[in-house]
Copies of this chain bind each other. A is one copy, B any other.
Amino acid sequence: MTTTSERIADEIRARIRSGALAAGDLVPSTRRIVAEHGVAMATASRVLGALRRDGLVEVRRGVGTVVAAGANAGTSRPAGSPARRLPTGGDVVRAAMAVADTEGLGGLSMRRIATDLGIPTMSLYRHVRSRDELLTRMLDAVYAESPLPEPLPRHWRARAETCARTMWSAFQRHPWAAHVMSMTRPQVLPHGMAHTEALLAAFDAIPGRPLDLDTRMHLAVSVVQLARGVGVSIEPALLAQQDSGLTDEEWTDRALPDLRAVADPRRFPQISAATSTDIDLTLDSLFEFGLARLLDGYAVFLGDAPSAP
């Protein structure tokens, strides 16, 4: 579904593209749009705002909005970058992080943030385009407060470990962060770039081992993937614990009879053995174990000597 303001904007775009409105011509003013379409001022304002973002029109203060030079020539929208205001709304991001830290992503609602800040809900949208954009900015803030140590180790393994552990500790401080992170579509995270850069550089120029970009990318992303993969489990674990008042261990003890009832020791001796002993496995030990094994594998792959622990 297109929204009303989009529909009206498309109408005017069509008139510009067809030449019915030439460069320098006045496009309908907000009040004109209000009168013609029976909509509110804010809607009309959004229509002009959309056209302005497209670069199709220019605002002449006190005069009106006119078609920009060269607007008729364009065949499709240039879709310029959305003109970010970086400093604004830092409070919103901070408040949102505080909520997410304690109550998880599920507890993070726009109404909740607004209440915490003592402002009306809709005022949040002055600072943030949508909940999704807010999440992205929260993730960037996590990177911002988790700088890599200086100087970075130069050996690939030490550096990869440093990068991975920095991320990991960030995910522990902000359990929702791993979930917000996308592996498939690059997010614009100004403060995350140093991390990506450092990790990519770790696998560049390894003595006697020129690696193509694809390979270096896989090496770097696999390390990130490990931290994120284990990281996405942190939040559910914490929330389940605080919802039920039970630690994972207590919960497992509670569920064990059910499990044992289904696990026939004859068919599933391993599981039966596992359910009758205490297992010392935490997300942290899982991360460290996985990281050590993965990097051992890298050493083999890179023809490096595997490190002694």
Contact = CB atoms under 8 A, between A and B. Distances in A.
Interface string A280-309: 110101100110111111111100001000
Interface stretch (A3-11, A108-116, A266-274): A266-274
A129 to B, nearest CB: 14
A145 interface: no
Q: Which of A213, A261, A269 has the most CB of B within 10 A?
A: A213
Interface stretch (A37-45, A118-126, A185-193): A185-193
B252 A213 contact: no
Count of identical protomers in the assembly = 2
A233 interface: yes
A295 B240 CA distance: 32
A292 B297 contact: yes
A83 to B, nearest CB: 11
A23 interface: no
A277 interface: yes
Majority secondary structure of chain A interface residues (helix, strand, loop or mixed):
helix
A274 B213 contact: yes
Contacts of A306: 300
A255 B162 CA distance: 29
A229 B290 CA distance: 12
Nearest to A214: B280
Contact of A301 (B214, B254, B270, B296): B296
